[in-house]
Structure 1
């Protein structure tokens, strides 16, 4: 019978072929690694760059302090032992100078006024009689019908009567003044800030009834450290920020002549514009922050997009000639719109990444493209990653 051809190689032959197949596989892997090494690097991001620019930035000094009334008048009672009949104002009301705030019962005072007026009329009648007697005595003295002593008595009685008239007039004026004090009036225009008057109460002289913020004027008492006092002058413009975020412009009126020995701070009194509206952003007793405007100075600035904040520090990415970026730690300062001052860590002629800085790491390869201004109506697009090949 003819011999059949074997379908598989002998075991010995296959054992010799395995090393050859393994070597061929290793050779193919090596070629692929060499191809990857020789392939050009792919940029990680498309960015735009810019150089720092010089700008004039305002110098501001920040401070905190309390808002208080410029002057708070205490309105008290000038009548003693009278019952309070009517209270016409309440806290928050705007009043004008001379406006009646409260009224006391005037029945007793009116009776005293009438009594004083009657006493004056009586004194005036007695004075008229004494004057007539003195004139008659003067006539009789020349005729010798009346002695010198009697004539002197008539003149003395006349002067005494006139003195009693003056005393009666003073008493009447005093009672009229008491009648005037039965109406409590505002000593100045302003806002009622406190009220303790109660209808029906019998108060004594000097008892506080109202408090009035004169002319509605407030002031900001800023606490400034001793080292910065010399930078502030009377008339310096100030911006005070209210609790609701609104800003109020003021002006420095005066600087306290002493510095607190415990806190080493001095008070700077800032006049705020008067406001009689109940919706005013600043009210007495508020705690507010503000800034003193101290002029301007030149500064090196970069766009806000160029600053990357990481781990509490600020960084920029400088574009190197090999299209790779270097991460630089910088110190930032003032802010003006969309630009931030850099006070250290960056050369004035360095090219820094603007668009895409927040997506980079130190040493990344980037593609630099010219910056194109975005349309006013369309929002700026975020930088896109380039897919790695």
Structure 2
């Protein structure tokens, strides 16, 4: 009995020891696999880190001495007229709409003219009466002059005939002036085009009562055209030394014409803080109609410099900088630069880089000083 119990105990202890060995073996195997995996990941990361990053680049060009910027403008009439009646009254008809082409002397609108016609007819009748009275007074004066030498009449009768004739003559002249004024007032009830052009705006409708001088229509003369631009202060300063420019159609740059600087607004617009510049066009093509968008290369003042894409600009200690690729070892150098001027698409570097150097143009926020790179897409 005792021997049997001892044998069972030895077997149990052997089984436990065997189980512990297996467990330790399994744990060791798992740890070994984990360490191998970490080592493999580290090797991959090390390989990735050591792989040079491809970069886009540009070769720094020669400095730009003169800077021109294509400015967009609009075709406007050389002269824009606001037309209205000289007299007040009720608008009877308006024969034009926005966009209509009119000729010189064409009727644009008219007022009710009954009162003017009545005044004209009255002045004409009064003139006819004055003419008859002047003729009678002149005939009477001639008779008195004939009778006076023979003593048939007294001197006072001749003087009275002379006074009557002079009074009739003055009345006739007054009636002529009154008829002229009545005719002008009647003509002023008709609004006509003073020159050929295009109607750009209407401000009154039929049946509306308008005052003297109130705008009824706006007329843009079609004889001469201007290109109108709104420019910054620096562009205006540079433009004062320019007399002629080439203006092209924005939708088709092949359509161009020559222009001469006409005038520059003496003060800036209070809202946009820009100055209006008008360029007179010489024989503009038909495609450059009123309202068409045009462009012109306008000079700007300020420093020139090496032109680079705006995407190449970075920062180093709060100052502008760019990444230069050393062609000998393909390592990056972050170099501070001085910006002469810039826009949304390009910057002009006045100091810090030299022509012919390789400048990184994309992804500069992810690059670091001394990083090794490979040259990818670029512009030589």
Counterpart among 64, 67, 85 of residue 77 in structure 1: 85
Given that 1:239 and 1:292 are in contact with CA atoms closer than 8 Å, whether structure 2 keeps it comes out as: no
Classify the secondary structure of the residue corresponding to 2:96. Answer: coil
Counterpart among 280, 286, 290 of residue 292 in structure 2: 280
Residue in structure 1 matched with residue 52 of structure 2 by the alignment: 44
Distance in structure 2 (CA, Å) of the matches to 1:354 and 1:364: 12
TM-superposed deviation, 1:290:
8.9
Counterpart among 352, 355, 358 of residue 358 in structure 2: 352
Classify the secondary structure of the residue corresponding to 1:54. Answer: coil
**What aligned pairs does 1:204-283 form with structure 2 within 5 A after superposition?**
204-213=211-220, 215=222, 219-222=228-231, 224=233, 230-233=237-240, 235=242, 252-255=261-264, 267=275, 269-271=277-279, 277=289, 280-281=292-293
Tell me the alpha carbon deviations over residues 117-166 of structure 1, each in whole angstroms, 9 at most, x when there is no partner.
Answer: 22222221221111111111111111111111111111111111111211
Structure-2 change in CA distance of 1:219 and 1:97 (3 Å): farther
Q: Which stretch of the first structure deviates more once superposed, 42-51 or 188-197? A: 42-51
Residue in structure 2 matched with residue 186 of structure 1 by the alignment: 193
Classify the secondary structure of the residue corresponding to 1:149. Answer: helix
Counterpart among 167, 170, 176 of residue 177 in structure 2: 170
The aligned length equals: 323
TM-superposed deviation, 1:331:
4.5
Residue in structure 2 matched with residue 10 of structure 1 by the alignment: none
TM-superposed deviation, 1:183:
0.7
Tell me the alpha carbon deviations over residues 95-114 of structure 1, each in whole angstroms, 9 at most, x when there is no partner.
Answer: 34432110223334333323
Given that 1:223 and 1:268 are in contact with CA atoms closer than 8 Å, whether structure 2 keeps it comes out as: no
Given that 1:234 and 1:254 are in contact with CA atoms closer than 8 Å, whether structure 2 keeps it comes out as: no
Q: Which stretch of the first structure deviates more once superposed, 170-179 or 64-73? A: 64-73
Distance in structure 1 (CA, Å) of the matches to 2:192 and 2:110: 9
Structure 1 gap segments, 5+ residues each: 1-28, 30-35, 283-288, 369-380, 384-389
Classify the secondary structure of the residue corresponding to 2:165. Answer: helix
Question: RMSD between aligned alpha carbons?
Answer: 5.3
Higher helix proportion: 2
Classify the secondary structure of the residue corresponding to 1:74. Answer: strand
* 1:124 corresponds to 2:131: yes
Given that 1:319 and 1:325 are in contact with CA atoms closer than 8 Å, whether structure 2 keeps it comes out as: yes
Normalising by structure 1, we get a TM-score of 0.61
Structure 2 gap segments, 5+ residues each: 1-35, 37-42, 44-48
Counterpart among 200, 222, 225 of residue 207 in structure 2: 200
Counterpart among 33, 52, 67 of residue 59 in structure 1: 67
Distance in structure 2 (CA, Å) of the matches to 1:362 and 1:268: 47
Distance in structure 2 (CA, Å) of the matches to 1:279 and 1:255: 20
Distance in structure 1 (CA, Å) of the matches to 2:211 and 2:304: 65
Classify the secondary structure of the residue corresponding to 1:58. Answer: coil
Classify the secondary structure of the residue corresponding to 1:145. Answer: coil
Given that 2:312 and 2:360 are in contact with CA atoms closer than 8 Å, whether structure 1 keeps it comes out as: no
